[in-house]
Amino acid sequence: MSNVDDQERLEPAALAELLASGSDPAVERVLSGAHPADLAEALDHIEDLGAKLRLFTTLDAETASRVLRDASEGARAFLLTALPDARLTSILEHLETDDAADLVGGLPEERRATLLQRTDAETRREVAELLTYPADTAGGIMKAEVPAVSAGTSARDVVEYLRRNAEKLSDVWDVFVVDDERRVVGRLPLRRLVLADDGQRVDEVMEREVVSVRTDTDQEEVAHRFEKYDLTSAPVLDASGRLVGCITVDDVVDVIEEEATEDMLALAGVSGSAGEMDGALRNVRNRLPWLALNLVTAAASAVTITRFEDTIRVLAIAAALMTIVASQGGNAGVQTMTLVVRGLALGELDTGQMTKVVRRELTIALTNGAVLGTACALAVYAWRGDARLGAIVGTALLANFLVAALLGSLVPIGLKLLRVDPAVSSSVFVTAGTDVAGFLIFLGLLTWAL
């Protein structure tokens, strides 16, 4: 039995030293009581590749399959390269089909075919079918092992069916009820099954309202439906409406983490595929294009400033004040953009609500701009004794807040309409727009006043 509280037993440095000592009984004794998730974490932190491989080969096939499923991409890639086909085949046969598909999906086609050919016919057929779906769709994250019975089945027979298939159906929350054409007509939560009399028919105790998804439904939409309807599992239907698989809440947790990480990195201009432990060259390739785009937008700001060299030469304080206007607009724009991107991602907003979103953000910007613009104007007047300069700074600040509200709202929605992920490039356009607008408004007003 795994003891998840006994973390010191899996200290990576101590475990690596134990592996290097060559004491197989001691290694097996430590690993026997460890949870697979802890083993996967320890595996990721062991730097010595020989020790990493020795740790993994010590595990039995069932435990190894769970460890490999939870391991990081780097550790998994190393093991897939280092392990012989026979070992990987035994691991594949202990995985659920969705995890098996994820495992072999990134392998070269020839090696993938070799591994699948060594598995049993059912596993080979189910995994091959899952690999036909895009990875970020319901079909790509579903498992083919789905508990399904007909409406006339008795509760006793359903229990017996689950017992017979206990090894295959290892993660059951609901039993789906299907007709002769395998169309879903209801679902039987385990609670209802347990409370039902043995002789009761499934159609007497099942729930007839079923929230399902299609194989081509985007995984973000799948996660949204699980959150909206408090689902623990959902049937996946093909284009004809027939049951082909199911998605459980543990799959959705992985999707939520993946999507949140991807959006967070994208907002910073870092590709979600470049992780902390990836090589420097790969990270350079992923970050350089965004930095280059930022350089172009920064150059646009610089060109704007050069148009007002005479004004800055006459009133040098303008060089300091214009940064306040631009930075405040940038911060306000990012605030609006973040809320809009989040709303689009969670399904709380859609492109049809554009007018409502823009109106709300302009109201907020007008209020914030008026308060901060007035405060800034008074501060400049108290500092420089120039009421006209204070009024120009305050007006420019208010105007740039309004620009920020427009850009922060319209850029993500516009990118969504163009079928571009708003999280990826919104920040570049919003910050560049507020910088250029801030410089142009402030220096333009100042030039006119002078």
Domain containing residue 325: CATH number: 1.10.357.20
- With tokens 């949204």, the residue in question is 224
Residues 305-355 pLDDT 10s: 888 888 887 788 888 899 899 999 999 998 999 888 878 876 677 767 788
Identify whether residues 216 and 329 lie together within a single domain.
no
Instruction: Name which of 354, 352, 361 is nearest 333 in CA terms.
Output: 361
Same domain, 40 and 122: yes
75 and 180 belong to one structural domain: no
Give residue 6's pLDDT: 44
Q: How far, in whole angstroms, is CA 232 from its chain's centroid?
A: 19
Residue 274 belongs to a domain: no
- Eight-class DSSP state of 232: S
Domain boundary among 100, 133, 166: 133
Question: Does one domain contain both 17 and 64?
Answer: yes
Query: Using alpha carbons only, what angle is made at residue 236 by residues 232 and 237, rounded to the nearest 5 degrees?
Result: 150
Say what the pLDDT of residue 24 is. 64
Classify residue 139: in a domain, yes or no.
Answer: no
- Boundary residue ending a domain (77, 102, 133): 133
Number of H helices, E strands in the chain: 22, 6
H helices of 230-279, in order, are 249-267
Interatomic CA distance for residues 224 and 32, integer angstroms: 38
Q: How many domains does the chain have?
A: 3
Q: What angle, 0 to 180 degrees and rounded to 10, lies between the N-to-C axes of helices 318-346 and 249-267?
A: 160
Dist. CA 72–CA 45, nearest whole Å: 10
Burial 281-307, CB ≥16 within 10 A → b, else e: eebeebeeebeeeeeebeeebeebbee
Task: Output the domain CATH number for residue 102.
Answer: 1.25.60.10
> What sign results for the dihedral spanned by CA atoms 433, 438, 443, 446?
positive
Q: Does 126 share its domain with 175?
A: no
Domain shared by 300 and 445, yes or no: yes
- List the domain range (segments joined by +) for residue 222: 148-264
Instruction: Specify the DSSP element, H or E, that contains 316.
Output: none
Are residue 188 and residue 127 in the same domain, yes or no? no
How high is the pLDDT of residue 276? 46
Residue 262: per-residue pLDDT = 67
Please count the other Cβ atoms lying within 10 Å of the Cβ belonging to residue 15.
22
Residue 255 within any structural domain of the chain: yes
* List of residues 6+ apart from 154 with CB closer than 8 A: 198, 199, 200, 201, 202
Residue 138 in domain: no
Residues 122 and 208 in one domain: no
Residue 23 has a pLDDT of 60
Question: Shortest CA distance to 267 belongs to which of 426, 412, 414?
Answer: 426
Cα(11)–Cα(78) distance, integer angstroms: 21
pLDDT for the residue 70: 84
Residue located via tokens 């809440």: 249
Token pair of 37 as six digits: 């998730």
Q: Is residue 378 part of a domain?
A: yes
Q: Is residue 202 part of a domain?
A: yes
Residue 287 shares a structural domain with residue 423: yes
Q: Which residues of the chain have pLDDT under 50?
A: 1-9, 273-277
| Alpha-carbon distances, residue 18 vs 42, 82, 415, 446 (angstroms) | 13, 21, 54, 72
CATH of the domain at 200: 3.10.580.10
72 and 201 share one domain: no
Residue 213 β-bridge partners: 236
Helix (H, G, I), strand (E, B) or coil at 5: coil
Domain identity same for 258 and 313 = no
Co-location of 387 and 244 in the same domain: no
Residue type, 317: I
Does residue 271 lie in a domain region? no
Q: Are 247 and 138 in contact (CB under 8 A)?
A: yes
Is 275 part of a structural domain of the chain? no
The residue from 264, 290, 315 where one domain ends is: 264
Question: Which amino acid, one-letter code, is at 169?
Answer: L
Closest CA to 177 of 196, 199, 156, 205: 205
Strands 233-237 and 243-248, by their bridges, are antiparallel
